[in-house]
């Protein structure tokens, strides 16, 4: 395993290195997965470009509209412990806290977790439920891609050869757009609750066998679900939304019967495979179990403010 290690301190230098070395270069931000794959000869880059030397890309900041801008090189541990993330989107802090061990989270970055494009990426389902988007820079300039469109297959994203993920944008009221388009009120942070549940073989340290995120908002008077988003990890080629299940829930009071129906719909939407961690059949069964648990968590927490919502759930 021999490569030249490069650590640019500005975007301009990083872009120049990517242009110069092209397909022979691999961008890393933390490198926990890239180094493992390089040692295993799955990857064989001649140049490794470490973008953690670009200081502004590691910042987590408020966007002024109730949302967040999370630099791609912010560590997963920083996302987990950030007061801003915990206050505004605790479901994301919860998901980050279930990725590997503390030692891994201190090195791994949020951008690396997404760009690695593992179907089992812990941060992806929560970010999908929060309508996050990826800010990408490249030779053609800058573009913003909804995270729904960012993953295109196992280990594959929409990033071009000379493009880099700069920031993850989490809108303050961005989720709920689908309902708003139908004439319902737009969703704000008030009344929103969320949960991320992970099932793994080693108490959360291992990759997820199944991951389920749910974020919902409920009318404080009649408890009707105004909007909800469900996302599944480790049960399809990419982290994915369970849209049919969502459609069953919107506009209704979430009863036990409805949760069971939504869980069945989510299991039907999943496309799991069998591997060393679990069979496809087992994964589908666990989708049923964990969707019901996630829905029970968010329905029970409906109406809580953003400072406390989303802390329910855990490993199994």
Q: Tell me the pLDDT tens digit for each residue of 36-94.
A: 677 767 677 889 999 999 999 999 999 888 899 999 999 999 999 999 999 999 999 99
Q: Which residues pair with 15 in a beta bridge?
A: none
The C-alpha atoms of residue 236 and residue 216 are separated, in whole angstroms, by 22
Name all contacts of 2-8 with Cβ < 8 Å and 24+ positions apart: 3/38, 3/45, 3/46, 3/47, 3/48, 4/46, 4/47, 4/48, 5/48, 5/50, 6/47, 6/48, 6/49, 6/50, 7/49, 7/50, 7/52, 7/53, 8/49, 8/51, 8/53, 8/54
Residue 241, pLDDT score = 97
For 81-119, write each residue's pLDDT tens digit: 999 999 999 999 999 999 989 999 999 999 999 999 999
The C-alpha atoms of residue 171 and residue 91 are separated, in whole angstroms, by 14
- Give the whole-number percent of the chain exceeding pLDDT 90: 69
Task: Write down all domains in the chain, each with its CATH number in brackets.
Answer: 1-53 (3.30.43.10), 188-300 (3.30.390.50)
Sign of CA dihedral 189, 266, 294, 218: positive
């Amino acid at each position: 395993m021999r490569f030249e290690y490069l650590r640019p301190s500005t975007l301009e230098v990083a872009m120049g290195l990517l242009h110069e070395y092209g397909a022979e270069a691999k961008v890393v931000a933390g490198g926990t997965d890239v180094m493992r794959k390089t040692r295993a000869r799955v990857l064989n880059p001649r140049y490794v470009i470490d973008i953690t030397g670009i200081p502004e890309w590691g910042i987590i900041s408020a966007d002024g509209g109730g949302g967040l801008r999370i630099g791609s090189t912010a560590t997963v541990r920083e996302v987990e412990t950030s007061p801003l993330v915990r206050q505004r989107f605790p479901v994301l802090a919860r998901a980050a806290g279930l990725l590997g061990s503390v030692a891994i989270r201190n090195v791994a970055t949020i951008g690396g977790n997404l760009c690695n494009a593992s179907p089992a990426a812990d941060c992806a389902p929560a970010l999908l439920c929060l309508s996050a988007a990826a800010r990408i820079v490249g030779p053609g300039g800058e573009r913003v891609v909804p995270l729904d469109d960012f993953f295109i297959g196992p280990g594959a994203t929409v990033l071009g050869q000379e493009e880099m993920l700069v920031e993850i944008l989490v809108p303050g009221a961005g989720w709920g757009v689908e309902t708003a388009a139908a004439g319902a009120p737009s969703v704000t942070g008030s009344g929103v609750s969320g949960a991320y549940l992970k099932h793994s073989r080693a108490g959360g340290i291992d990759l997820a066998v199944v991951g389920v995120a749910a974020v919902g908002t409920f009318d404080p008077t009649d408890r009707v679900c105004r909007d909800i988003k469900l996302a599944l990890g480790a049960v399809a080629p990419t982290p994915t939304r369970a849209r049919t299940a969502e459609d069953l829930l919107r506009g209704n009071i979430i009863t036990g019967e409805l949760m069971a129906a939504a869980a069945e719909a989510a299991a039907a939407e999943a496309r799991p495979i069998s591997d060393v961690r679990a069979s496809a059949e087992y994964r589908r069964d666990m989708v049923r179990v964990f969707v019901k648990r996630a829905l029970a968590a968010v329905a029970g927490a409906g109406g809580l403010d953003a400072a406390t919502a989303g802390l329910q759930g855990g490993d199994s």
